Amino acid sequence: MPRTDKPNDGSSPSPTDEQAATYDRLVPMLEAAHREMTELSKKKQDGVVNTLKIKMLNRLLSELSKVIEKDPSHAFVDMLDEETLPQNSDAVLILSQWQAALQQYKGRHHGYDASVRGNRWFTVENPRDNHR
């Protein structure tokens, strides 16, 4: 059943087509990383995340940060600290916050468009048609 979303409330500027494409490309990677870190955390909650994993995750988060940098939720997400090396459970919490922020962002800028009979991003280049 098609979902109808509320119009953008102005709290977050519309993404560009490039930002929407980046979101669609990287969010599945974030979800996979979150699943892996969750499994690792179940086995060894207080284990320390190694430097290589932190660098890989931060590279992903850095690109996603550019997508939501003007969104209010951006103020509530953090990068993983390469200096202190967080525990597995801390990394899971941080990745969970990112997922929540990104889901909220998508909820504001993605939804059903009757003209294409499907869901799509409402971007700067292809905005929501408010005349319908």
User: pLDDT tens, 38-75?
Assistant: 999 999 989 999 999 999 999 999 999 999 999 999 99
As a whole number of angstroms, the distance between CA 127 and CA 109 comes to 9
As a whole number of angstroms, the distance between CA 99 and CA 48 comes to 21
C-alpha distances (whole Å) from 98 to each of 47, 103, 130 are: 21, 9, 30
Residue 2 maps to a domain: no
Print the domain residue range for 92: 17-121
Residue 128 maps to a domain: no
As a whole number of angstroms, the distance between CA 114 and CA 108 comes to 17
Residue 108 maps to a domain: yes
Residue 132 maps to a domain: no
Residue 95 maps to a domain: yes
Tally of domains within the chain: 1
Residue 6 maps to a domain: no
Residue 75 maps to a domain: yes
Q: What would the two tokens of residue 95 be?
A: 């990745």
Q: What is the pTM for the complete model shown?
A: 0.87
Q: What does the pLDDT look like over 66-115, one tens digit per residue?
A: 999 999 999 999 999 999 999 999 999 999 999 999 999 999 999 999 99
Whether the pLDDT of residue 8 is over 60: the answer is no
Q: Tokens 């990287």 belong to which residue?
A: 26
Residue 113 maps to a domain: yes
